Structure 1
Amino acid sequence: MLARTVSTLKWCALFIVALQLTACGEAPAPQAAMLPSVIVNTASTKEIQSKSEIVGRTRASEDVTIKSQIQGQLLRRAFVEGDDVNAGDLLFEIDPANYISELAQQKAVLKQALASRDVAVMNWERGRRLLPDGMISAQDMDELTSRKLTTAAGVVQAEAAVQGAELQLSYTKVYAPISGRISNAKVSTGDIITPNSEMANLVQLQPMWVNFQVAEKELISAQQKLSQAEKREVKISDIVISLRLPNGTMFNETGYIDFISNKVDAATGTLPLRATFKNDDKLMLPGLFVTLVIESPIKEQALLIPQASVQEDQQGRFVMVLNEQDEVEKRIVELGERFGIDWRVLSGLNDGERIVVDGLQKIRPGIKVNAVEQEIVPFQNTQATPTASDAK
């Protein structure tokens, strides 16, 4: 028991000595807190050409519904459904027998009318020679004249009837009025066709139209820009229009605006427009939803910032700005359209101010940071742009 007490006192003495030695020495200086590192980009004014994307729908430049103009039995269909046909190609043939007979009958009536007219003319000539000698009365001469005029009118009427019968006979063969792509046949061989029966549809694929609408707000803005650029003689034909297909690829032809409506649609607040595109390979078909990429012919100066620097909360979109002391400030900004990876700033930011583009999760307004300027790496350079973790 005595030995355990001595051992305990010994350890207590050693602990007290250690505390005294520590008290006599200098305390270690506290380490300074490391500033969070962020990547910053300087907002700069650049020359831009505004672009806008609008959804439109393709429409055939010509869309014809083939209908019958007569009645009869369909003898044959002379095309392959879905094929391209040329203007003047035979499409359908209707039984012409009744119309051939009608034409022959009208030609016979015409011959009778011609014979009656010839006789009337001869009688009138004879009466004209006898009238001065008093061998016929004036009343008889009037009747001869009336007969001549009546038979002449009968000839005109018979000729018109012949022309009508020839026209009806021509309708037994239905030809393509335009060049284009034919639909499936709406009638079958052997059907009894009636006037105005829909037989097929024919659309012209070259060129192709694209109908779209522009909102009245964007319309006024575009008109104001064009009016400011009148000195440069900007024309509507100077507007370059590209087209993105439904699969996301760009169409290989650019188009131009060829129609602008004369009034804004009161129901939708939009102005209807139409663009025309060459479609030589007939890739586009009517009814497709496509995206028009419209590039303004006017170049202007705009303040641009990277999209990566923009955040949003209940107050709206904002960016983190560094002042001269590298302290963080929150700045509400009004943004316009996008240009690639950049966003146009309409208000809230000045040219030359530094904004944080990487490391935003580590900062808050009022703190000081270690700022590293973002390096713009060329596209062909495989070296990655530095991140906030690299800047530590």
Structure 2
Amino acid sequence: MIFIVEKDTLKDSFLIENIQIYKDLKSIKISEDETPNQISYLKEQAWKTDFKVELVQKILFTSIIKTSGQILSAPGDEIIITATASGQVRFVKNNLLQGISVAKGARLFEIETSDLTDGNLETKYNEAKANNEKAKADLQRADLLVKDKIISDKDYLVTKNAYKQSEINLKTYSKNTRNGKKNIYSQLDGFIKKIYIHNGDYVSTGQQLASISKNKTLILQADLSSQFYSKLNKVIGANFKTIGNDNTYDIKDFNGKIVSYAKSSDALTFYTPIYFELTNNGELVTGSFAEIFLKTKEETQQVVIPMTALTEESGKFFVYVQIGGESFLKKEVELGDNDGINIVVLQGLSEGERVVTRGAIQVKMAAASTAIPHGHEH
């Protein structure tokens, strides 16, 4: 076949020999050097997407126990604010809502007790003040009497201690009382996790008003089924995924460690809790439920790939293997255990093959349409 190229006064020709002509597509036979079902995915396409190819290797993979659990506040990292008097509670600020930050010592609530006979703070404060003044006068008198040996040292100490106790009582009522109202303060820096009452409610002494959490140290509680109790002491770590979040984390991402586990299962649920301590970086929320992958000491050599390499069709799983610079092959795989991040491949992949671990969906689209649809560009 001869191609003739002409432009202005220039003219050239190209001769291409040994071209085989077919009458239709069915007549074309695939040569031994070509691979059937080959997918073309150009480097230019890969550069425009989050794309990565990795070498398939056998690595040590820990045995996984799948379970569920919850993220909790660490003991000491959360406190409950309670009413220190009975009466009608008022919010100090209108924006006192769940999630707002509070400083240690910040005034949160006040309790009005003036209309409650048994808990009238103003009355109690006045009584404490009167008792303190009387105790002070008694001590001044005792100072003179003990010098003249009119009273014994023992009686003097009784009078002195009574005065000290009256001072403590007076400070107790005056410190947190203002105009007959009991003030309730935050006892730590943190945020309001929950408010248990409404503005204007009547509360009793000891009733819960709010909870405050630092949200810095968290506990991941994993509930282990009793059937795995024998493996409890073999648990060395965990991956977890909170409900509604696509990210799967390793506890190491939060400086996590096992802090304890129960020595018996719950009589009702038959689950044994395992506790991991986490340092929160702001991504985790207390109360969140989680899917948990417990890692054990048991390890075996396995072909392992990231779970991002998988695509699913009608309940079957596939990966895309690179067979050339811009050529890929779709392969069905049989899967084994996973830890939420990586997964064991039992059949379908061999060590040394190169598999698409990021961008597999794009290659799948290329296989279906022979081209990636153009996105919106500026």
TM-score, normalising length: structure 1? 0.53
Structure 1 residue aligned with 2:273: 272
The CA RMSD over aligned residues, in Å, is: 4.2
Structure 2 residue aligned with 1:322: none
Structure 2: gaps of 5 or more residues? 1-56, 113-120, 177-181, 305-309, 311-334, 365-378
Letter in 2 for 1:277: L
When you count helix as a share of all residues, which structure comes out higher? 1
Structure 2 residue aligned with 1:120: 145
Q: State the identity as a percent.
A: 14
Cα distance in 1, alignment partners of residues 204 and 363 from structure 2:
75
Matched, 1:69 2:95: no
Structure 1 residue aligned with 2:243: 246
Structure 2 residue aligned with 1:301: 301
Counterpart pick for 2:222 among 209, 212, 215: 212
TM-fit CA distance, 1:118: 2.1
Structure 2 residue aligned with 1:292: 292
Q: Aligned in 2, Cα 1:116/1:64: closer, same or farther, shift over 3 Å?
A: same
Provide, for residues 124-162 of structure 1, a one-character-per-residue CA deviation record: whole Å limited to 9, x for no partner: 1xxxxxxxxxxxxxxxxxxx345x643441231132022
Provide, for residues 43-90 of structure 1, a one-character-per-residue CA deviation record: whole Å limited to 9, x for no partner: x98642333332111212244321112245556524621212133222
Cα distance in 2, alignment partners of residues 266 and 378 from structure 1:
47
In the TM superposition, 1:42-57 aligns within 5 A as: 47-57=60-70
Structure 2 residue aligned with 1:109: 134
TM-fit CA distance, 1:338: 5.0
Cα distance in 2, alignment partners of residues 342 and 250 from structure 1:
19
TM-score, normalising length: structure 2? 0.55
TM-fit CA distance, 1:123: 3.1
In the TM superposition, 1:186-201 aligns within 5 A as: 186-188=197-199, 193-201=203-211
CA contact (8 A) 2:132 2:170 kept: no
Cα distance in 2, alignment partners of residues 155 and 374 from structure 1:
86
Structure 2 residue aligned with 1:92: 109
In the TM superposition, 1:1-392 aligns within 5 A as: 47-61=60-74, 62-71=77-86, 74=89, 77-78=92-93, 80-82=96-98, 83-94=100-111, 97-124=122-149, 144-146=150-152, 149-171=154-176, 172-182=182-192, 183-184=194-195, 186-188=197-199, 193-221=203-231, 223=233, 226=234, 239-250=236-247, 253-254=253-254, 255-281=256-282, 283-296=283-296, 299-301=299-301, 337-338=337-338, 342=344, 376=353, 378-379=355-356
Letter in 2 for 1:55: S
- 1:378 counterpart SS class: strand
Letter in 2 for 1:163: I
Q: Aligned in 2, Cα 1:158/1:70: closer, same or farther, shift over 3 Å?
A: farther
Larger CA Rg, structure 1 vs 2: 1
Q: Aligned in 2, Cα 1:290/1:154: closer, same or farther, shift over 3 Å?
A: same
Q: Aligned in 2, Cα 1:102/1:166: closer, same or farther, shift over 3 Å?
A: farther
Q: Aligned in 2, Cα 1:303/1:154: closer, same or farther, shift over 3 Å?
A: same
Structure 1: gaps of 5 or more residues? 1-43, 125-143, 227-235, 308-334, 345-354, 358-372, 385-392
CA contact (8 A) 1:81 1:185 kept: no
- 2:142 counterpart SS class: helix
When you count strand as a share of all residues, which structure comes out higher? 2
CA contact (8 A) 2:125 2:173 kept: no
